[in-house]
Amino acid sequence: MKKETRKKLEEIAGRYAKHGVTLTDCINIYNSGLANQISEESAVIGLRLALSHHFNEQEYFTSEDVAVITGETVEEVNKRIEDNKEELMNNGSIVEVSSPIPDLFN
């Protein structure tokens, strides 16, 4: 595992420690993503998404994050957000995506 990735996992574990999440938990979930043949970056984003959903915590994702998950370019993501800005604002969200790791907590 890259040093940079481990640092990200440590940061995520720190944010979710109040829920009992450990670095080992984060590494296991991250590795599950890799085992499902998603990229390292997608596995980190998927971990954040899964934990935020499971513990009902707010996570913020950039257009770059969304592009990594959807396979779109950042420009395409930004255009889609702009095209749907009113609807997204009415829903109280900016962007909503689903986890790339199915049944993570089941």
Task: State which amino acid sits at residue 8.
Answer: K
Mean pLDDT of 95-100: 46
> How large is the average pLDDT for residues 32-55?
94
* Whether the predicted pLDDT of 94 surpasses 80: no
Yes or no: say if 22 and 35 are a contact pair by the CB < 8 Å rule: no
Question: What is the percentage of the chain residues whose pLDDT exceeds 70?
Answer: 86
| Selection from 18-22, 69-73, 86-90 with the highest mean pLDDT | 18-22
**pTM of the predicted model over 0.85:** no
Domain range list for the chain? 1-59, 60-95
39 touches 60 (CB < 8 A)? no
Q: What does the chain look like in DSSP terms, one character per residue?
A: --HHHHHHHHHHHHHHGGGT--HHHHHHHHHHHHHTT--HHHHHHHHHHHHHHHTT------HHHHHHHH---HHHHHHHHHHTHHHHHHTT-S-----SSTTTT-
**pLDDT tens, position by position, 46-82:** 999 999 999 999 888 888 998 998 899 999 988 888 8
